[in-house]
Amino acid sequence: MSKENKQTSVSELGEFGLIERLTKDIKIKNASTIKGVGDDAAVMNYKDKQVVVSTDLLTEGVHFNLMYAPLKHLGYKAVVVNLSDIYAMNAKPTQITVSIAISSKFSVEALDELYAGIHLACETYNVDLVGGDTTSSLTGLTISITALGEVEKDKVVQRSGAKVSDLLCVSGDLGGAYMGLQLLERENEVFKVDNNMQPKLEGYDYILERQLKPEARMDIVAIFEKLGIVPTSMIDISDGLSSEIMHLCKNSALGCSLFEDKVPMDNQTKQMAEEFSINPIVAALNGGEDYELLFTISLDDYEKMKNDPDFTIIGHMTEAAEGVNLVTAAGSSIPLEAQGWNHAK
Ligand code: ADP
Ligand code: MG
């Protein structure tokens, strides 16, 4: 069991050697990519499609903790969170650029790991890595990813298109990534106090994966296409259901009724919430990083989607004057924003 553990410093390879090493195996997958890594700029051709662009910036210690987030997972997640924004426009992601600032504590082998995750996400989502930038940092790691995607002109879905009585729907289940984070942080604290303590993570693989290796809902956009549905508005759930509903309502100038007992949650999420004495609905409403899609569809499309197990109808849109409300399991209606955390008590 002799595992090769040689750590090469970035200065041994130099900036250009490092870029070459991290990008040498890239094979272009999309017809819209004309020229990828290796020139002053990448070249794309989207023909008559509309192009959507989204950027995210992740900083060590703020957005991720390398104590429990493996670099490969981090690379994968950094790509996925960007692709999620592209899907939220009902578009198909086609290219990304990756920019990194690295301190001297990161070896070439560590960056190989980060890029293994980045390349894996590109394979999984059929996206081309077409460029980026590399620089040094005094403290830790910063990753910025820009994603580009394409969509037919009449299929672009913004946050602003919802209408009164549209159905409010969500993909997958919510709150899992937040409860996974709570578990990781608790076990990390235990480990800091006693290095001999093994983290107790068994039985919680689903919520850990939701936190460490989330997926973007590529399948949902494909299902819309198959069912012939164009949502009237859409957003991805990165900050928690409550906040994203507010965005849809504000941008569409509407109110909404959200039904507490309709919000989909996995059993592991509920179980972990119970361990932490958190009401699980709070994890769904205010936890973040679920990367599910929240969207509205016209009542006319209800027949097309009613038997599809990939979506859950969780409410409906109302006039703005009615406000944004959570209808509790007991049947009372509470303003959503003021609600949130207090409900846990
Ligand atoms: P410039 O001097 O114009 O910034 P670079 O030497 O930084 O050029 O980049 C050379 C090529 O490598 C470009 O195609 C650039 O997009 C790409 N590149 C640079 N850094 C990265 C990175 N971290 N990941 C992927 N591609 C990169
Ligand atoms: Mg550069």
Per-residue pLDDT, 3: 52
Domains annotated on the chain, with CATH: 3-155 (3.30.1330.10), 167-335 (3.90.650.10)
Tokens 């159905």, residue located: 167
- Model pTM? 0.93
- CA distance linking residue 229 with residue 226, whole number of Å: 8
- How many angstroms separate the alpha carbon of residue 38 from the centre of ligand 2? 11
Question: From the CB of 75, is ligand 1 less than 6 Å away?
Answer: no
Neighbouring CB atoms inside 10 A of 83's CB total 28
Per-residue pLDDT, 325: 95
- How many angstroms separate the alpha carbon of residue 258 from the centre of ligand 2? 47
pLDDT tens sequence across 47-93: 999 999 999 999 999 999 998 889 999 999 999 999 999 999 999 99
Question: From the CB of 102, is ligand 1 less than 6 Å away?
Answer: no
Span 157-169, mean pLDDT? 97
- CA distance linking residue 67 with residue 184, whole number of Å: 10
300 Cβ neighbours under 8 A, 6+ residues apart: none
Residue 98 alpha carbon, nearest atom of ligand 1: 24
pLDDT tens sequence across 234-287: 999 999 999 999 999 999 999 999 999 999 999 999 999 999 999 999 999 999
Among all ligands shown, which has an atom nearest to the Cα of 95?
1
Q: How far apart are the first and last CA of the chain?
A: 52
